[in-house]
Every structure is written in structure tokens, then in C-alpha cells.
Structure 1
Amino acid sequence: MSVAVPLGESSAAPAVPPDRIGVLLVNLGTPDACDAGSVRVYLREFLSDRRVIEDQGLVWKAILNGIILRVRPARKALDYRKIWNVERNESPLKTITRSQAEKLAADIADHEHVVVDWAMRYGNPSIRARIDALAAQGCNRLLVVPLYPQYSAATSATVCDEVFRVLADMRAQPVLRVSPPYYDDPDYIEALAVSINAHLAALPFQPELIVASFHGMPQKYVDAGDPYREHCVATTEALRKRLGLDASKLLLTFQSRFGNDEWLQPYTDKTIEELAKKGVKRLAVVTPGFAADCLETLEEIAQENAEIFRHHGGEHFSAIPCLNDSDAGMDVIRQLVLRELQGWI
């Protein structure tokens, strides 16, 4: 059956633009400035998340508002000032995450219908703002990439929580994919090994051993079923195998305790103190759980724990940089993204 076309009108169907795909890299977050007020805003959002502090009852709210948010912001602001990117007036985490997104966009530029952006779970740019921006650019498919190699409810899951909240308010929702944790991915392990070996080769000393320090977590969260410790162990064991080191030469520890609960052990600071007391003079620390250097690596490890080591008799200490936006680090992100985009590109 043919359909008559009115004189002067084309019979060709209107051009339909190809689907656009948004790729959103997400990291933890950062204050907007290194002053107490900005840190207070950031900490309030972070510590009010039920994934981070599961018991958000009246006692916790009293502690948070009556003590923590009165005392901690000024102290943490001083720590942020030690590592702040003064030129850009932002934290290194923001600088690095932006660069990761820009380099990824360049790496996959041949896929013209893919738009790469980045966000922070807490602080700015927010997940909501960047999803809205991707939607405004016509992205009706969305790949969210939590930049956490090891899964935990307090990191990966809370990214998903926020993404779901944003999508719940959208009438025209994009199709959604979320990349999985990559704690034992061969590309990730290889990148870590290459990075570690390159850093050690450039040092003026040879470390007696390496400490692999991961962000801590309350023990009760793992007892309740969080797989985070299991993932950290798997990363460390794979890295030991790749580097040819046994458990006495590549130690697994956990940093950044908060509050009075028991956290995952062994603790990084206590381990480093004991190593120095036992006569270890040369030490390197790697932080495989962080995709980008931040307060916990640049201040807590490279400065605070370095001082602990030297104070108790250690002499030479080196913090190995995160993968960041290095060639090896970008290889990991690119391969992860391209794998998760299969069927879409």
C-alpha cells in the first residue's frame, strides 16, 4: 500500500540522531574550599549518610551536631591546606578526577556519541547536577563508574543510592548500567605492579618491605555481610603474586579509623609504629584502594604516618602515588569502561 505525499513535502523520514551515552566517573568527594565552614558542610553530608554511619539515631545526631561538626572541621581544614591545589583552589582529588574524565574522553573520542563526565558523591560537582547535564546533552543511556576498586556499601553502594534517587525524580529516565568493582581485575593488578616497581626504582633507598594500606571500616559492617575486607585481601594476594612477594614483605593494613568502634585490623598507624620499633629503617606504603590521591593518601599516609615511622626510629619512608591519571591508571579505567559499554557501542 502506498501513501500519497502532499506536493512540496519530502517522503524521506526525518533524521533520528543516534543514542547518546553518558559515562559518569564518580569518586568520594571533597570540600569546596579548605576552610572550616566548607569542611563542615562536606562532613555534614558525608556523616549523615546511612551507608557511612548506619546508626543515624538521636545519639549519633547529638554527637554529630554537638561535638563533631563543632570541633572537627577546623582541624580537618588545616589538613586540607597541607595538600590543597592552590593554583586551582581545589583539592587534589577534584583535580585528578577531572583529569581522569578528560583523558578518558580523549581516549574514546572515536565513539562520538559517548559523553564523559565526572562527579563527587559528596560535595561538588554533585551526581544530580552531572546526570542532569548529561540528560540535557541527549544521553538516554548512562554508565556510572564508581572509582572504588573494592566494593563496600559505604562507597560503591551509596553512589548507586544517589543515582537511583536522581533517576526517581526523572520522567524520562536513561537506561542505566553500573560498573562492577575491579579489585582482582588483571589490568588493575598489572597497573599497580608497574606503578610500584617504577616508583621503587626511582627511590634513593630500597624498602625492606611494603605496606598496602586500605581505607578502614567498622568490623561490624563486615560481620553484617559487607564483602570489603574480602576484596582487599584478594587485591593484596594478587599483588603479592604479581610482585613475587610473600606476606612478610607486602603487609595488608587498614587506615582512617573514626569513633570508638572496633575497625578492620591490623591498623596502618599501629603497624607502622611497631615496624619502626622493631628496627625497620626503610619503608614504602602503597594505597591500592584509592583510584586518586586525596587527603587520606597525601596527608594521612605521606605526612602523618611518615612522621609516626620516623618518630619511632624509622629513617626512610616513601608513599607510592595512586594510579591517578597516569598512563597505567587510565588503561585500567578505559578498559573497564569499554568492557561495560559492550552492546552499546
Structure 2
Amino acid sequence: MALTGKFNAKRVLVTSGWILLAIGCLVVLLAAVRDKNESVCKSIDVNISGLSNHFFIDKQDVLDLINRYSGEEAIGQAISSFDLVGMESELEKDVWVKNAELYFDSHNVLKADVEEREPVARVFANGTHTFYIDSSLSMLPLSDKFSARVPVFTGFPSDAKVLTKADSALLRDIRNISQRLQEDSFMLALVQQVDITPSRSFEFVPYIGNQVIVLGDAQNLDEKFRKLSLFYRNMMPRFGWNRYSIINLQFKGQVVAKLKGKDDVSADSLRTIQLMQAMAATAEKLASDSVQTIVQDNERNTADSTMIKFMIQREEPTLEPTIFFERIAEPAEPSKKQEEPKATAKPAKKPVAKPAAKPAQKKPGRKN
């Protein structure tokens, strides 16, 4: 009986202890919450992240939006009055904001982490519409803050906001080609712009030379770029930059190059005029951006046309894959000494026999 009473008393004490501990924790928690609700925002720390230094949205834009959403100056307001979820949604309505996270740290500082969208290509539609695209294929408008230095694509077949399945696939190819170009400093220095043909294939317009580089579709880009690099390293230094009118990369394991002929001269002149007009129109649209503030080149985009010849001439320490350039029409080099035409031997004329001279006749002598 005594043992039972002693056991019950111990059980009551343990239960009471746990209850008191729970009450104490609850009191502390309520006090912390009340203290937090009574705390005010001391400052705002904005952090904008992206793949490079293209800042199409700046810290002041984020601060203005937070203050506008709060109805007044956010600093000094009670933390309990902040609708952080609503602020995040409002920030993400900006087309240049990919993701936004807002929270208060232990020092009552409002942290705003904003991830900016990164343009990877600029696209010119057949009409007057032009836009950027990012890695997620979002169509981004031009910015009044910066003009991004990214590869330019012309001839996109649609300027509609809602694209068809075929146009979406074409936009995906544009993204893949542009990203691959930016990974290769040689190709970035070589290619001035990329034309989209009516058959939805791609052609490169180089900075140097009047040839057209036919890329075809966006498949096997690594192989095509390697073949083009080898072609420029091996063929162009030998035969010049304007020897070929077309360089075709569509065939597996080979580069098909067409020599300029008489028919190509007029066609090439016409195409040169067309390309110059297209590039002039593109340059005019680029120049018509609201503000022409060009950001410094990033690590993937430090190239100019003077790098092309340097890269071709410098020796590579690594072994290059062997590619046989088949079906490349090349005229035989003229020999140093041309054979002179052999003289045709004329038959010798037989000498005409002259008549023998008559012997002189002796005059008859006088007879004595």
C-alpha cells in the first residue's frame, strides 16, 4: 500500500514537471512572438543574382516596389504588418524577375533575394518586332537600362505573343545555338549574326569574308563547330577568305565548300547587298534602343573580329581530330613553268637544181 502511494506521488510529480515545462516554453514563445510583432524593420538588404552582370532590374526598383506595396516607407514599420508572400508575388510580376524570396533575419533586417532573368539571344522577327529570350525560352522585352551583348538572330517567322508548336521548337533551337556560340570564343568572334531561312534552318554571316556558312538545323552543334574551326584553320590561310561562296556543314564528317565562279559573282554581289541591308536594318534597330548603355564584356563574351586570324595562326597544344574534307572543289594549282608549245617541224624545201653552165666556146683561130 505504501509502495503504491509512493509510486503515484512520483508519477504526479513527473507529470506536473512536464506540464510546467510546457507552460514555460509556451510563455517564452508567446513573449518572443509578441516581441517580434512589436519589432520594426531596421533596414532592407537587396541582393540581385544572375548569370552575368546584365542588370535589367536594380536595387532601387526592388526598394520602390517594397515601399509601394507597404503603402509608405517600409523601414520603421512593424514587422507584423509586412505581407512577404504578397511582396514576392508582386516582384515576380516583373518580366525580368525570375524568382524572389523575402524574409526577416534575426536582426530585423528585411532580406530581398531576387534572381534576374538572363537574356541569351536577341531575335528579330520578320516584322518590326524584336525581343530577347532567356534560358527558359521566356520572351523578354527590350530594356530601357541596358542593351545586352548576345548573339543576334534575324528572320524569325512570327511576332505573335503565343507561339505555335513549330515556332516554340525553333525558339528552342535559337537558344541552343546561341548558348553554344557564347561558349566558343572563336565562333563568337567569327559570327556576326545568324539568319533563319524560310525552311527554318540556320546560316551564319561571318565578320570576315563574303561566304555563307550553312549550319542547317541545331543538331550535332559540337561536331559542326569543330569542322568549321578546322576548315578555317586549314583552308582559309592557304586560299584566302573570299575563295568560297558557300561553306556547308550539314554533311556528317565533311565540309562541302563551293568555289566562287562567274555565276556566283553576280549572285554574291546581290546577296552582299541584301546582307548589308539586313545588317543595316539590324544595326538601326539596335541603335534605336531606349538607352545604349553597353555593359562590360563578361568572361564568356570577350571577343572581337581581330581574334579570328590570331586563333587560326596560333598553334594548338592539343591534338585535333582528323576530318577529311571531301567534295571540296579546288582547282589544281598552276605549275610554276608552263609547257611551251612544241614547234612544228616544217618539211625542208628541196633545192632547185640550176642548169649547168655551158662551156665557153673557143673562137676559131686564124690560119697562118
Q: TM class by shorter-chain length?
A: under 0.3
Which structure carries more helix by proportion?
A: 1
**Relative contact order: is structure 1 or structure 2 higher (C-alpha 8 Å, sep ≥ 6)?**
1
Query: Normalising by the residue count of structure 1, what TM-score does the alignment of the two structures yield?
Result: 0.24
Query: Normalising by the residue count of structure 2, what TM-score does the alignment of the two structures yield?
Result: 0.23
